[in-house]
Amino acid sequence: MNIETETGWLDDIELEMVDISDTFSKAIARYEYPYADGADLEDMGQKARTLKIRCYFFDNAAQSTYNDHITLIDYLSRKSDFELLHPKYGILHGKVENVNVRHDERKRCAEVDIDFIEQMRDSIEASVAEDVADSVETAFENAQEEQYSSIVTAAIAAVGSKVMIDVPAENSLMVQFVGLTGPVRDFAAEVDVYVRRFEAQAIDITNPANSLVAGIHYATNLPGRLLGSITRAVERHARLFDALAAAPARFLASLDNGLLKLQVTIAVPSSGRRAAAALSARSLIAATLKIACAQRLALEAAYLYQADDRADSRAMNANDLEASLALVRTRLQEALDLDRGITGLTAMACSLLEHVTAAKSDRESLITVDIDRPLPLHIICLRYGLSSADAERLQALNRFRNTNSISGEVQIYVR
């Protein structure tokens, strides 16, 4: 795909889309009179606003969304209103009037054209990001509840309802399961080893008393102990990277790399158990950890976006915002692929997308220009409409050896 697309959402369905047109029509009443040329015109207000968008679904090495166009078409058969999260206009409510589909099964690609008619509202404004940290925190809490329910369902399906036995926090899980044999004991024994492993992760770091996780109550049964130990371990691991918080883009990239390494380290089998119940436990633990890491990355991104948005001197330009959002969205999508029932993950992605879309409007982007002959730095600033105060920023960005003679590729800030 060589087409420059943007990301939007129709309710909970992610769209890779481009705008075809955005129509604003007026209802004009014409009053014509005998023996008089022309007509009196009266503006009766604006007609329904229609957005024509084209959505792309395709399979390649990076993604596999071709089959999702069928899901979208089936979903559009609903008669109720839809919520469109538009990359430029924010949240719009309305109905879909026309759908035109072109697809090629051999190439595994599809184009879906949608005519979206907006429901009447007072005014049309570009989206204004709400408090991104609050909205993502709410989604995080909802995702934790949904993840707990998923773990309960998976554990019961694997070995039965005995996994719901309460285990005091100070006790090992095996204290309650010591009298049991067979699959339940195999499952609990595997989880017990991993829980102790998570509890020992970054043990020299204390979970912040005022953090969001500190306020979440986790059940004392096996699913609750597992989710709580993983979530707190991932939070402690994130705090290892706090020294990089002054460089938000670097912080998120480093945190993501650290969380990936954590998954590899923790995923080492705890024992040689080959019983089906033990293997089920390992699979459940790996999925739970991956989803927890995606949630933590999204939460940290929200905190950084909010802090950067309120700072006098913003550390993130438009490129940083786009790159960090793409990273977080990738991890959230991977988590969703593991468990579609955790709708809080989608809510996090929507909140972050809406914030970044609004924030980019007043942020600078980076472009690379080619200086074909040696020029002083202040002349380059003048050529591209930058002030003398920007010279220091360009120097820090490009690390020029000689600011009086610069040539070749140079990165500059643009609006």
Q: How confident is the model at residue 128 (pLDDT cuts 50, 70, 90)?
A: very low
Residue 203 to residue 112: CA distance in whole angstroms: 51
Helix axes 318-338, 276-310, angle to 10 degrees: 160
pLDDT attached to residue 245: 85
Quote the CA–CA distance of 305 and 28 in Å, as a whole number.
45
Q: Out of 9-18, 131-140, 223-232, 358-367, which region has the weakest mean confidence (pLDDT)?
A: 358-367
H or E element: which one contains 95?
A: strand 90-104
Q: What is the mean pLDDT of residues 58-83?
A: 85
DSSP annotation of 207 reads P
Residue type present at position 6: E
State the chain's mean pLDDT as an integer. Answer: 84
* Domain at 6-118, CATH class: mainly beta
Q: What is the mean pLDDT of residues 241-246?
A: 90
62 pLDDT higher than 80: no
Share of the chain above pLDDT 70, in %: 87
pLDDT surpasses 60 at 223: yes
Residue type, 337: D
Question: Is beta strand 6-10 parallel, antiparallel or unpaired with respect to 109-118?
Answer: unpaired
Domain range annotation of the chain: 6-118, 132-361, 365-414
State the pLDDT confidence band at 129, using cuts at 50, 70 and 90.
very low
The rounded distance, in Å, linking the Cα atoms of 69 and 235 is 37
Q: What is the pLDDT of residues 270-295, one digit of tens each?
A: 556 668 888 899 999 999 999 999 99
Question: Cα(5)–Cα(244) distance, rounded to whole angstroms?
Answer: 31
Question: Phi/psi at 242 (nearest 5 deg)?
Answer: -60, -25
User: Is pLDDT at 241 greater than 60 in this prediction?
Assistant: yes
On the question of pLDDT at 312 being above 80, the answer is: no
Q: Which residues contact 338 (CB under 8 A, 6 or more apart)?
A: 287, 290, 291
Which residues fall within 8 angstroms of residue 269, CB to CB, at 6 or more apart?
282
Whether the pLDDT of residue 209 is over 80: the answer is yes
Q: At what angle do helices 132-159 and 276-310 cross, to 10 degrees?
A: 180
Better-predicted residue by pLDDT, 22 or 33: 22
pLDDT band at 178 (very low <50, low <70, confident <90, very high): low
pLDDT band at 251 (very low <50, low <70, confident <90, very high): very high
Q: What is the DSSP letter of 59?
A: B
Separation CA 190–CA 326 (nearest Å) = 35
Give the lowest-confidence range in 2-6, 54-58, 93-97, 260-264.
Answer: 2-6
Q: Which helix (H) or strand (E) holds 303?
A: helix 276-310
